[in-house]
Amino acid sequence: MIRTVTALFREDFYLSTCEASVTAVLEDGGIELDQTCFYATSGGQPGDTGFFERKDGSRIPIVETRHGATKDVIVHVPADGQARPTLGEKLVLHIDWPRRYRLMRMHTACHLLSVICPYPVTGAAVGEEESRVDFDMGETIDKDEVTAALMKLVDANHPVYVQWITDDELAANPGIVKSKNVRPPIGMGRVSLVCIGEDSSIDSQPCGGTHVSETQEVGAIHIAKIEKKGKENRRFRIRFGTPEDRAAS
């Protein structure tokens, strides 16, 4: 049987709580729901943690959210030793919002970095404290210059929004995707493009993650390190705060 879940986080990145009904409890304890605001790990962004509130007020802590066999399946992993909810039970979902918001800020910062460094991305991992983006690039670049360029984009407070387009629209207008370093995930019928700037003047690239809605929300960030990973690869590490904050800590 195929159970479908409504992934509310795809429509509203700021939804931190919602109601849901249990559609399955897996052998390993994993919980599936009819709808969820919990983001499931993918595209370098870790899935949400938080808790489910039961009718009697008790809580089921959720330590991980991941996809199942396909992206249409979302499994919420409870902490060990928790009581299992029953099929059809109604729950109130609460994501760990401070953590998710940091991930949204960091994820958006990764997009801004790919605007400043328009090289093919070979890997990325969004973290609460630090994110890394690997580029296929051979040249050396000054990290403070990159930080200054990043903060210029943050301070300009460009809008960040999602535009859904169909595979056919994309095929007809390949120019819609401004970042050439990420291949659109076609084949699912529609693609979500994350656009930065009015009329995506700064950037647009396919991405299914969660982002803030204005670049100013990213706040102070800086490039802590640029590591050389072979002749044609550079690993950038983004951290929150200013370089001065870091030096002081």
User: CB 110 → Zn ion: shortest distance, Å?
Assistant: 7
196 binds Zn ion (CB under 5 A): no
Q: Which is nearer to Zn ion, 22 or 196 (CB)?
A: 196
Stretch that binds Zn ion, among 46-54, 95-103, 159-167, 209-217 (CB under 5 A): 209-217
CB-CB contact of 201 with 182 (8 Å): no
Report the alpha-carbon distance of residue 91 to residue 153 in Å, rounded: 40
Q: Which residues of 111-126 are buried (b: 16+ CB within 10 A; e: fewer)?
A: bbbbbbbebbbbebeb
What is the radius of gyration, based on Cα positions, of the chain? 19
User: CB 153 → Zn ion: shortest distance, Å?
Assistant: 15
Report the alpha-carbon distance of residue 174 to residue 195 in Å, rounded: 15
Residue type, 60: I
Size of the chain in residues: 249
User: CB 52 → Zn ion: shortest distance, Å?
Assistant: 26
User: CB 107 → Zn ion: shortest distance, Å?
Assistant: 5
The sheet that has 190-196: what strands, in order across it?
A: 160-166, 190-196, 203-206
- List the one residue from 75, 207, 221, 238 that touches Zn ion (CB under 5 A): 207
Q: How many residues bind Zn ion (CB under 5 A)?
A: 3
User: CB 1 → Zn ion: shortest distance, Å?
Assistant: 32
Q: Which residues contact 95 (CB under 8 A, 6 or more apart)?
A: 16, 17, 37, 38, 39, 48, 49, 50
Residue with tokens 């109604």, as numbered in its chain: 90
Q: Which is nearer to Zn ion, 77 or 212 (CB)?
A: 212
CB-CB contact of 148 with 181 (8 Å): no
- List the one residue from 52, 209, 212, 222 that touches Zn ion (CB under 5 A): 209
User: CB 116 → Zn ion: shortest distance, Å?
Assistant: 15
Q: Which is nearer to Zn ion, 40 or 194 (CB)?
A: 194
Q: Which is nearer to Zn ion, 42 or 58 (CB)?
A: 42
Instruction: Name the residue with the smallest CB distance to Zn ion.
Output: 207
Which residues of this chain interact with Zn ion, rule CB under 5 A? 194, 207, 209
